[in-house]
């Protein structure tokens, strides 16, 4: 589950205006939330906080039953981040690694056995339609293929929380719909899923509660 209580976040400690102001909301384990709001509202910043890439400047954040504060030990944050799958807007693949090695990374970080990694990576890449591109270097992929690789990497290790920033903007419509079906299925199996998007057609297709941000403030809390 996710619980934020009066969380604010400043890009720099001395910055006068916070990027995120006084956010309070809760998402139960297995909940699905859209994250909506105009460009610049703070969606990516909120996802970075939930991915513990940055820490709250004020307030309390609880993720997957762990409290995260400015004093939380780095090793705890690293382990927590390993339990979260993130699809970044810019994919963030390792360009010199193959598709399969990119997708294997989260499982390798968890020291899972190599035969299990091979099986899972093959099956997830087949699922996203990249089963015949396992050995291709990520730098040679199209935008849509990079996005599908990033999605496979975010879910291969069955994380408790999946965060996705505009995960369908490089996908064809049938693939976008397939991804939505999968996110919906993962949430019904107990994974918490948060998806930031501007794509209204997508939101209409999967009506779920929305967290709506405007200028760093929550104007709808998804309850
Ligand atoms: N690297 C940066 N340095 C300084 N300010 C930034 C930086 N990145 C974003 N911002 C500012 O932080 C605020 C929140 O940006 P954020 O990217 O979180 O919004 P967003 O809702 O995800 O926008 P979009 O929908 O366009 O991706 C905006 O005012 C933005 O201009």
Domains and CATH numbers, the chain: 2-83+159-222 (3.40.50.300)
Dig out the tokens for 50 from the structure.
């939930």
Q: What token pair was written down for 209? A: 């509660």
DSSP string, 91-131: ----TTSBHHHHHHHHHHHTT--HHHHHHHHHHHHHHTT-T
User: In this predicted structure, what is the pLDDT of residue 47?
Assistant: 98
Residue with the nearest Cα to atom 10 of ligand 1?
40
Please report the pLDDT score of residue 46 as a whole number: 98
User: Measuring from atom 9 of ligand 1, which residue has the nearest CA?
Assistant: 40
Here the contacts of 86-89 (C-beta below 8 Å, separation 24 or greater) are 86/47, 86/51, 86/154, 86/162, 86/163, 86/164, 86/165, 87/147, 87/150, 87/151, 87/154, 87/162, 87/163, 87/164, 87/165, 87/167, 88/150, 88/165, 89/44, 89/165, 89/166, 89/169
For residue 23, what is the enclosing H or E element?
Answer: strand 20-27
The pLDDT value recorded for residue 221 is: 84
Q: How far is the CA of 38 from the centre of ligand 1 (A)?
A: 11
Check residue 223 and give its pLDDT: 67
Ligand 1 residue neighbourhood (C-beta within 6 Å) = 11, 19, 37, 39-45
> Rounded to whole angstroms, how far apart are CA atoms 223 and 220?
8
Alpha-carbon gap, residue 144 to 141, rounded angstroms: 8
Ligand 1 center from residue 11 Cα (angstroms): 10
Distance CA 110, CA 105 (A): 9
206 neighbors 195 (Cβ within 8 angstroms): no
Phi, psi torsion values for 130, nearest 5 degrees: -120, 25
Low-confidence ranges of the chain (pLDDT < 70): 223
212 alpha carbon – ligand 1 mean position (Å): 15
| pLDDT for 166 | 94
pTM, full prediction: 0.93
Please, is 175 exposed, middle or buried when counting C-beta atoms within 10 Å of its C-beta (0-12, 13-18, 19+)?
middle
Q: What is the pLDDT of residue 157?
A: 94
Ligand 1 centre and the CA of 45: distance in Å? 7
């Amino acid at each position: 589950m996710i619980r934020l209580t009066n969380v604010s976040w400043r890009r720099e400690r001395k910055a006068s205006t916070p990027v995120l102001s006084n956010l309070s909301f809760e998402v139960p384990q297995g909940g699905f939330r859209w994250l909506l709001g105009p460009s610049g509202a703070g969606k990516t910043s909120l996802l970075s906080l939930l991915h513990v890439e940055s820490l709250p400047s004020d307030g309390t954040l609880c993720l997957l039953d762990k409290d995260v504060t400015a004093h939380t030990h780095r090793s705890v944050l690293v382990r927590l981040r390993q339990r979260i799958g993130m699809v970044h807007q810019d994919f963030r693949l390792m360009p010199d690694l193959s598709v399969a090695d990119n997708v294997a990374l989260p499982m390798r970080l968890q020291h899972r056995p190599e035969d299990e990694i091979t099986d899972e990576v093959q099956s997830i890449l087949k699922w996203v339609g990249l089963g015949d591109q396992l050995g291709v270097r990520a730098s040679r992929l199209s935008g849509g293929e990079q996005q599908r690789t990033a999605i496979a990497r975010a879910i291969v290790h069955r994380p408790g929380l999946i965060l996705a920033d505009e995960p369908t903007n490089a996908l064809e419509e049938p693939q976008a719909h397939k991804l939505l079906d999968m996110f919906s299925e993962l949430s019904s199996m107990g994974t918490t899923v948060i998806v930031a998007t501007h794509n209204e057609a997508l939101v209409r297709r999967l009506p779920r509660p929305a967290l709506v941000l405007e200028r760093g403030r929550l104007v709808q809390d998804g309850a």
